[in-house]
Structure 1
Amino acid sequence: MNRTPLPALVTVLNTLGTYGTRLSPATATPEQLAIVHQAVEEARRLLAAAKGPATSGCADHPNGPVDPTDGLCLLCRGPRHRARLQAAAVDPALGDVARTLAEHGETEAVRRHGPRAVARAQAASGRSTQRKTTP
């Protein structure tokens, strides 16, 4: 079952329901009947699409699994989610991280700015990002 067309099908069926209460044999106009005919045809098309196999429309995974909540490709969900997180995350300025490193040490810099930012600041300054172990 393909859940992607279901919201549009619900909308068309609601439209048809409103005409069911407004139409009567004495007052029906050709324009109203044309609208009802078009809505019925659209409902049939959407119903046929819903009864068919689920497709995400994904170019990379055309036959991949589909997320039932939004109809998008489940295989692409992880990369999309990571991309949104990375776009939302603002890396602190390397100067601020380097200053925290110099003034308060690596532990405090990691606590304030995160390990990724500290590693980037260390790499930019030429410092090693590997911890030294004592024998």
Structure 2
Amino acid sequence: MNRTPLPALVTVLRTLGTYGNRLSPADATPEQLDVVHQAIEEARRLLAAARRPTSTGCVDHPAGPVDPTDGLCLLCRGRRHRAQLQAAAVDPALGDVARTLAEHGETEAVRRHGPRAVTRAQAAVGRSTRHTGGR
């Protein structure tokens, strides 16, 4: 279950609840019905999003939030982004290594830059030097 859309779903359901008290068959307008219809569709969309599994395949955050753009772990994405910024600040060459790590994984970074540069980039940003399997 994805808990990210739940606050928005609660808001939409509360809005729908207010229409239950205000709407009567005698004085319902097409505009009111359109608003209710849109709210119901939004509630359905949010409910479907909440029911989707949040498994990102992330070892560190198996139930973490999912990045909607690519389905990867949002927490790791933030960590990788901070690592890139910190590595670039410490040594511009390490920034290139950190970018390769974030975009292509450890195996590709070692292939492109060598194990020593990868270890230095990881140490510079305080990231673990254990093998992460291409994340």
* TM-score tier (shorter): 0.3 to 0.5
Q: TM-score by structure 2 length?
A: 0.46
Structure (1 or 2) with the larger CA radius of gyration: 1
Please report the TM-score for the alignment, with normalisation by the length of structure 1. Answer: 0.46
